[in-house]
Amino acid sequence: MVVGDFPIEVDTMVVGAGPGGYVAAIRAAQLGQKVTIVEKGTLGGVCLNVGCIPSKALIQAGHLTEYAHGNEELGIKSENVTVDFSKVQEWKGKVVNKLTSGVEGLLKGNKVDIVKGEVYFVDKNTAKVMDEKNSQTYTFNNCIIATGSTPIEIPGFKFSERVLDSTGALNLNEIPEKMVVIGGGYIGTELGTAYANFGTEVTILEGTKDILGGFEKQMTQTVKKRLKKKGVKIITEAMANGAEETSDGVKVSYEAKGKEETIEADYVLVTVGRRPNTEEIGLEQVGIDKDDKGRIKIDKQCRTSVDNIYAIGDIVEGMPLAHKASYEGKVAAEAISGEKSEVDYIGMPAVVFSDPELATVGYSEKDAKDAGYKVKASKFPFAANGRALSLNNSDGFMKLITREEDGLVIGAQIAGPNASDMIAELGLAIEAGMTAEDIALTVHAHPTLGEITMEAAEVALGTPVHMMK
């Protein structure tokens, strides 16, 4: 018998089991669809296996290492801090395995059929799923494509044992003495910070005028201040030319300020962006439209140019955020079920797990003005917050963006400890159409970092208590 002669029929096929795909599959199943999800790698995709989760685990281990050295200002000093990096990696692996096995349990619990293999589209209702041995044909009424993205490889820096992408950097079996990071975006900054906390001498080469492009200069300044304290060297407007591997390391050549320079390190980490995984899956067979960056074009329901095929996550326009992919996955699954769900990105947060953390949601002051709003920007510093001072972690600020005529909250930016958690309240405020007065009237527990949100709202109202007007 030839495997694949008889097509398997499903209501909805989901291609990719990352944070977009598996969430879409579960929501579609909850809405009564018969769902098959196809994944060529490990359930959870990049995020759970070699992205969001393991990087945050490594960042946390780096923070604990930094804390273990003590703080002379607080009268705490430790001379003999050691790190068993194999144990760190073992622990990180346990965190990842727990979550990926949890995803499998959730999919099976929602009666989603899990298939291993690669997908190639034959037409708008048919795809072949192939593994190393077999090819099976599937027919579907609807399909959600969630194939994610892959690190970009640049000329002169072919990925190898010493030239790493983010996956390689997360899986090192040693703490490097020296590391060069090419690209000062969120991935490079996060991983560079983590290794700096472990004691690695880190140099960041960034091609533009500043690291963490897309965030306001005042926010990035707080991060650069901390990086400098950790001994991290940041070289901006630097063009990386090539890497020459040696017997025990790598020599990186770059150009900055009109001069050719070289720097030696144990490893070089290349984090200059990611490209969408939209090639070689048969999209041209179906006639699905893409933009000049290879991303699939979608409407407000995540529907592609082919009406029964949807696309979500890194393969569509927007920042490559796991929570964005999950959100789009729910919208697509609901649209397939006939609901009127549409994407609305105004409350979409973006977070960098730097030191201190950065977070933003809604409009920045500049973007709001460019959009034609008359706005008020109200700042409150972490240095005026009791909890931040008691944590000895008071660098940074919150900025609240409100509409002048009615105080409506339309944006917020945070640079400071726990910014990643604090931004959720501001996202809720934007989604719920709350004003600065609504936030100011909400009693926040004392002493907490959350009080900063209330204080920033009071600044917007012109009645700040814990800072002078």
Instruction: Tell me the domain boundaries of the chain.
Output: 8-150+275-345, 163-272, 356-461
Q: Are 31 and 165 in contact (CB under 8 A)?
A: no
Which of helix, strand or coil describes residue 419? Answer: helix
Q: What is the mean pLDDT of residues 137-165?
A: 97
Q: What is the mean pLDDT of residues 395-405?
A: 98
356-461 matches 163-272 in CATH topology? no
The rounded percent of the chain whose pLDDT value lies above 90 is 96
State the architecture of 8-150+275-345 in CATH terms: 3-Layer(bba) Sandwich (3.50)
> Is 446 noted as a catalytic residue in this protein?
yes
Q: pLDDT by residue (tens digit) across 161-204? A: 999 999 999 999 999 999 999 999 999 999 999 999 999 999 99
| 207 has binding-site annotation | no
Counting beta carbons within 10 angstroms of the beta carbon of residue 219, is it exposed (0 to 12), middle (13 to 18) or buried (19 or more)? buried
CA 304 vs CA 78, 312, 391: distances in Å: 58, 10, 48
The helix-helix angle for 419-432 and 451-461 (nearest 10°) equals 50
At 1 the pLDDT is 40
At 52 the pLDDT is 95
| 147 has binding-site annotation | yes
At 464 the pLDDT is 95
| 396 has binding-site annotation | no
Q: What is the mean pLDDT of residues 22-29?
A: 98
| 273 has binding-site annotation | yes
Q: pLDDT by residue (tens digit) across 81-119? A: 999 999 999 999 999 999 999 999 999 999 999 999 999
| 148 has binding-site annotation | yes
List 63, 323, 444, 446, catalytic entry: 446
At 2 the pLDDT is 47
278 phi and psi angles, rounded to 5 deg:
-120, 5
pLDDT bracket for residue 79 (50, 70, 90): confident
Tokens at 283, concatenated: 């999209």
| 451 has binding-site annotation | no
Q: Which residues pair with 380 in a beta bridge?
A: 398
pTM of the model: 0.95
| 314 has binding-site annotation | yes
Q: State whether CATH 1.20.900.10 applies to domain 163-272.
A: no
| 190 has binding-site annotation | yes
| 231 has binding-site annotation | no
The secondary structure of residue 354, as a DSSP letter, is -
Please name the fold of domain 356-461: Enolase-like; domain 1 (3.30.390)
Predicted confidence (pLDDT) at residue 328 exceeds the cutoff of 60: yes
Rounded to whole angstroms, the Cα distance separating 329 from 7 reads 26
Tokens at 438, concatenated: 């609504």
Torsion of CA 389, 391, 397, 401, to 10 degrees: -110
| 448 has binding-site annotation | no
